[in-house]
Structure 1
């Protein structure tokens, strides 16, 4: 702990300096799972990238004490040494514990345990004043829940205690097919409702409006006699979605039947890493590359999420796509799917049931998602992962057309009483954004802990296209780079090149260039 305490002292000292002049700052973690352009510069950033250690795993209490930049694969490896596993494991191995806590992360076990922040017992946080504080669900719960989902706007979380539970060798995964989306939604709701504890993991893939596969999993320690495990993480293995699509075709031929796989636990938890669900297929289309077993094997080093995020940030191709996760109340899920089909026709869609209700009553009613603590307004949601291209109109600049389509999606989610998760591009106006959250309570809480001078959540997640385009016009070099990126396939090739040569892709100088 001495090394950790020394690191925290260093961060706290830096924050105190910034607090004296009320200089707004951002936090540099060393990596990101956001799709937005980084706004970090060396003169406005606090570096916490060295906080990346698992400090202790307690097999008796079933907890892990970890620093915020510990990625999920490292946390899983440390906990599995004690035959334990986190309650919620985000599907990309590079997602960090601090990122999951600060950014409302959920996965296929979240119908049981809630978002990742609900599985944290305590946090240590450097407040915006430079003071080091500790908070939990029972001690300073306002600070604990205020920091959850706050994207670092309450301070800098420097330590977290994560809940674990008993692991097993395999996940027994059963696939069922539905030819009607409304029936699939009903089945998901039944599998994940109150008292539904027969499953440890539940999610689904909609391949079309009339073809959805629901996957329900439970932890098991052994394989049936004569059964081989289904592997997913090796270069020669199929991407999980490709495997699920083959299962879908088999199930369509024999309605009413099921198919079962036995998947090693780590393979299951990170099943979507290769190909980033199925978004990697867009890279094959972009580069006019055949998509088959051989090309997936040969290009496997480029098709893991850590690498894909780096290429995405360098190429900025996310600016021209719809990459969104949205939670929709079950009552509107089927109608929303029809609307998505008519408006965008993007498939597959990821379906993940989320328990977003916070236990704890008034003590949990703090921060960005304070409404989740109110039983009268909180509800379980069905997450839709919507990731696809944005066709352009002949006379409309591609970026503006993509913005228009994303804004249409944001407005429809609001009409249905849903929530859009904020890791991705957000195009809300300030009034639209705060209409969804308790701004008065959020601002009061930030004032209470001296964080009012920091960027707000809206400041952090908004995408200001006008400002970005103005910055490009102001610099000759930026104009050249921006125009070059619009010429196929310059942006994609540049992203691949930067992945190969390495370098920092999040920290920028004042001119907006990435610093190596």
Structure 2
């Protein structure tokens, strides 16, 4: 099934019937897992030989309605394919996460964010209805106000432990051909926080994010739609986007290149593979300058550990992966970064403002305050460990700090919470009620087991 054109709804119904048959054929009590081709999770799971459901049929766009500004989309559709289907209509999803192979269903059940999130929230907030395959084997159509409204509200941040989104009806918004970027130099995190807060609250731009290079160098990017452009830059080949943020005050990109500006170099993480070395970059095929290629390299290293073993043989210290996205209130951002810069030697760091849409809804498994502006802080690297420091030292510090500052941490990567703290932070009472209602035999993993115990 391709995503660029409308798909046959009858084919979707047949795929649903086949998936339910796959689930029914599993041995009684056998755990249920998906057989996905791509992943953007950074948790190392325990090896499992459990059978997996084939969900390859659930990729594609059923229909784009330009008049209502909606798209009917299958859950395993990547944002790369979704955007390719909506842009010809002059539309895009309200929030397009940074990496091309993030799926719509994954962004809704596992959260997602981008530079439109200060006005559009997160991807689940633009969902109008979903078809969800539950652990009980039912396929339910859930809506904000229908019979299964509690499941609709509890689905975000459940990571497939309450069910899988097979089809989603989402809102879209209009685009213009170009995006005009202004990179504002700030001499401190506090100054950058003030600039972002003013821009978000005053709607001074359509997109807001920032890059922290050091405690005294932060660049806030205010981007706005443009009908025309005096020129357009290209960061899909020899030039690296984040370096332009540091060196330019102004820029123009096509809408496609703006949406995927971070994917080409996985923000800045491609430098770990030598892809930013000018000589290497000239030899590196352009089609391989994309996040899923780098992710496969990382996954290979995690399986085999060749580089880790080589570094240890050379006498280099052990390293701890610190790959996290956290949200802290904008007024506490400077406090967070003061400790982070001192204790966690990672740079650059990404800032992205976030505020829930004013829809009056609550999302109990990831409860943000309705009228409060947060900043997502993204940092993705590894840090050296002292001889007496156990693995997890820096991640545990981040978790404690985020909680102290009234923030939240995404669960796509390694977590260390004890069980009581975890359920207090992530809607334990609501989750237990939903688990009993929609997965009574516990065919799907438990959220704590999946995200902390890595089962």
**8 A Cα contact 2:136 2:441, kept in partner:** no
In structure 1, the partner of 2:311 is: none
What's the CA shift string for 1:383-410, capped at 9, x where partnerless?
Answer: 11112221122466xxx43x12211211
Question: What pairs with 1:10-409 in structure 2 (closer than 5 Å)?
Answer: 10-18=18-26, 21-39=28-46, 41-139=48-146, 140-193=148-201, 196-223=202-229, 227-233=230-236, 235-236=237-238, 238-247=239-248, 259-284=249-274, 291-299=276-284, 300-316=286-302, 320-356=320-356, 359-360=359-360, 364-365=361-362, 367-369=364-366, 371-372=367-368, 375=370, 379-394=372-387, 400-401=390-391, 403-409=392-398
Is residue 182–residue 251 contact of structure 2 (8 Å, CA) maintained in 1? yes
> Are residues 1:429 and 2:418 paired?
yes
TM superposition shift of 1:17: 4.4
C-alpha contact (below 8 Å) 2:110/2:158 kept by paired residues: yes
Distance 1:111-1:306 versus aligned 2 partners, 3 A rule? same
- In structure 2, C-alpha distance between the alignment counterparts of 1:29 and 1:358, rounded to whole Å: 34
TM-score (norm 2): 0.89
Partner residue, 2:313: none
Question: Which whole-Å CA distance do the structure 2 matches of 1:170 and 1:309 have between them?
Answer: 29
* Gap runs ≥5 in structure 1: 248-258, 468-516
**Preserved contact between residue 110 and residue 412 of structure 2 (Cα < 8 Å):** yes
After alignment, is 341-350 or 387-396 more displaced?
387-396
Residue 328 of structure 1 aligns to a residue in which SS? strand
Structure 1 residues 30 and 358 mapped into 2: Cα distance closer, same or farther (>3 Å)? farther
SS across alignment from 1:168: coil
- Contact 1:87 1:165 survives alignment (8 Å): yes
Q: Alignment length, in residue pairs?
A: 430
- Partners of 1:216 and 1:263 lie apart in 2 by 13
Query: Which TM-score applies when normalising by structure 1?
Result: 0.79
1:366, 1:345 → 2: CA distance? Answer: 33
Moved over 3 A (4+): 38-42, 300-303, 317-320, 364-367
Q: Distance in 1 between matches of 2:345 and 2:50?
A: 43
Q: Distance in 2 between matches of 1:166 and 1:293?
A: 37
Distance 1:52 1:39, change over 3 A: farther
Can you list the C-alpha shifts for 1:355-386, whole angstroms capped at 9, x where unaligned?
A: 136623xxx345412x33x64xx632111111
1:390 partner SS: strand
Cα offsets for 1:55-97 (capped at 9, x unmatched):
1111111111111111111111110111111111111111111
Alpha-carbon RMSD across the aligned residues, in angstroms, is 2.2
Structure whose residues are more often helix by fraction: 1
Q: 3-state DSSP class of the match of 1:326?
A: strand
Task: Assess if the C-alpha contact under 8 Å between 2:351 and 2:378 holds in 1.
Answer: yes
Cα shift readout 1:184-214 (whole Å, capped 9, x = no counterpart): 1011111112xx3342110000111111100
Q: Aligned partners of 1:358, 1:28: CA distance in 2, in Å?
A: 36
Moved more, 121-130 or 424-433: 424-433
Deviation of 1:21 (Å): 2.3
Per-residue deviation, residues 381-440 of structure 1 (Å, max 9, x unmatched):
1111112221122466xxx43x12211211111111111111111122222322312211
**Residue 8 of structure 1, aligned match among 10, 13, 16:** 16
CA–CA distance in structure 2, aligned partners of residues 447 and 188 of structure 1: 42
Structure 2 spans left out of the alignment, 5+ residues = 1-8, 309-318
